[in-house]
Amino acid sequence: MSGSTKTPGEILAIDAFKTVIDAATVMEGRIVFAESIRIDGKVIGDLQEEPGARGSVAIAPRATVCGDIVAHRVLVAGTVQGNIHATEIVQLMNGARITGDISYAAITIAHGAIVNGSLTGNARKAEPASEMRRKPLLLANESPDPVPA
């Protein structure tokens, strides 16, 4: 496909992610990641990118996250019960169901997405175009707990 526009199917393609939580998996606890993570199953706990990372989180259509998400990019096609903080972009696909507040630099909301919470736009930090990485969009959350050293 030419250009930078990707369909939800392309964004959610499993081979685009370093880590995948399978549809048959329920995981409890805080997950800290550096690059990309796709949730197809259920996560009960926060998802947080490592400090200084530009991580992406994707929540598949039948997946559920019960916890906050902090990441560079977040894509939601499933259910999130918690707050979302994205330093770059949040993409809510048709069928996304969010119960929590969303903080973002940019956001797209497809017809059919449901948000029960507040939306807060935050100015994106200036960044040279040469440093912008093209990565699949994913979901992450901000946590007050520091990442263990």
Condensed to tens digits (0 to 9), the pLDDT of residues 116-146 reads 999 999 855 433 333 333 333 434 443 444 4
| Residue 3 counted as domain residue | no
Mean pLDDT, all residues of the chain: 80
Does residue 8 surpass a pLDDT of 80? no
Domain count, the chain: 1
Q: Quick one: average pLDDT of 81-86?
A: 97
Task: Return the structure tokens found at 110.
Answer: 């497809």
Condensed to tens digits (0 to 9), the pLDDT of residues 56-69 reads 999 999 999 999 99
Condensed to tens digits (0 to 9), the pLDDT of residues 92-121 reads 999 999 999 999 999 999 999 999 999 999
| Residue 79 counted as domain residue | yes
- Structural domain including 63 reads 8-122
| Residue 27 counted as domain residue | yes
Q: Quick one: average pLDDT of 61-78?
A: 96
| Residue 91 counted as domain residue | yes
pLDDT of residue 52: 87
| Residue 130 counted as domain residue | no
pLDDT of residue 145: 47
DSSP 8-state secondary structure symbol assigned to residue 126: P
* CB of 21 closer than 8 Å to CB of 147: no
Task: Return the structure tokens found at 68.
Answer: 């906050």
| Residues facing 97 on adjacent strands | 79, 114
Condensed to tens digits (0 to 9), the pLDDT of residues 11-41 reads 555 457 788 899 999 999 999 998 899 999 9
Task: Return the structure tokens found at 134.
Answer: 């093209």
* pTM, full prediction: 0.74
| Residue 138 counted as domain residue | no
| Residue 143 counted as domain residue | no
DSSP assignment of 15-48: GG-SEEE-TT-EEES-EEESSEEEESSEEES-EE
Question: To the nearest 10°, the Cα dihedral for 135, 137, 143, 146?
Answer: -10
pLDDT of residue 122: 85
| Residue 144 counted as domain residue | no
